Amino acid sequence: MANSDADARATGPRRPHGVADRAAHARLIRRRRAIAGTIVAVAIAALVVGTVMGADARSRRHPLPSGVGARAPLRHPALRKASLAVREADAIERTRLTVPIVRMAGAQHREIALTFDDGPGPYTPEIVRILTRTHTPATFFEVGEELRWFGAATAQILRLGDPIGDHTWSHPDMARLNGRAQRRELLRDAAAIGDEGAPFPLMYRPPFGRWDAATLRLLAESHMLMVLWSVDTGDWDRPGAGQIVARALAGSRPGAIILMHDAGGDRSQTVAALPRIIRDLRRRGYRLVTVPRLLLDNPAPRRQDIDSVRGEAG
């Protein structure tokens, strides 16, 4: 995203730093407890359903269908979905502990992740409609202050089931902020996303691809994985829909993470390019997945070329 877009953002009313920090931290703790409670609930539900179904099968003396065994209860759609969410969260955490900054996933499968920064915004609903129509998962990195005007678009993303990552509250260059200011940007955004009903974000993307040692310490404390990108479509500069498509396809390879934007300026070219990107990637044999699923299926290599990302759009 161009600097002019970031400068044009309204900062909105701000509370004193200490109050904002304490409030954001309190909400952070509540979100973590909620996530832990969800994981425990899923495990208990799986155990209970499995026990009941097993007892019922034995009492009726009916043979189980072919291919159904002890893991049958997880075939229930709700439990299967919950189980996948837990495994994806675990993949993010395992990645964070070994590769704290990810630009590319592994190449075990022909999978690619589409990601969108700077939203929500006026173009987000149209992007969500395209993703829904084409049955395409994606990952969004949201700016907290935009939620004051476009929170309904975030609700659409959540209904779609796509993950939402942290992209700071006001989209600053984090490397120019001290540690306290960085903490406020990160946690205030996390709290705002949570207020919309999303779980605590497990992923973070730095605006402008900029960070420093303080950022990394804060992410470690917050148990967030920094997710960069391997393909910058340059849509933030509005080069034309055809050029956006060409750049996405040129960088396509197994494990790629493609950067686009759903807000921060005029994104009509991104909207026009998206259906063609989805169609052409699938014609090349790629499966489009979220970043958590990408890392679950294709563990990230320890060696990541991150230096070339610094200073790019974000």
What are the catalytic residues?
A: 117, 261
CB 121 within 8 A of CB 153: yes
Q: Nearest Cα to 271, choosing from 309, 233, 308?
A: 233
Q: Nearest Cα to 124, choosing from 148, 150, 162?
A: 150
Distance CA 274, CA 291 (A): 17
Return the H-helix or E-strand segment holding 260.
strand 257-261
E strand residue ranges, 120-215 = 139-142, 164-166, 203-204
Return the H-helix or E-strand segment holding 199.
none
Token code pair at residue 190: 């996390």
Which residues are CB-contacts of 295 (< 8 A; sequence separation ≥ 6)? 88, 91, 92, 95, 102, 105
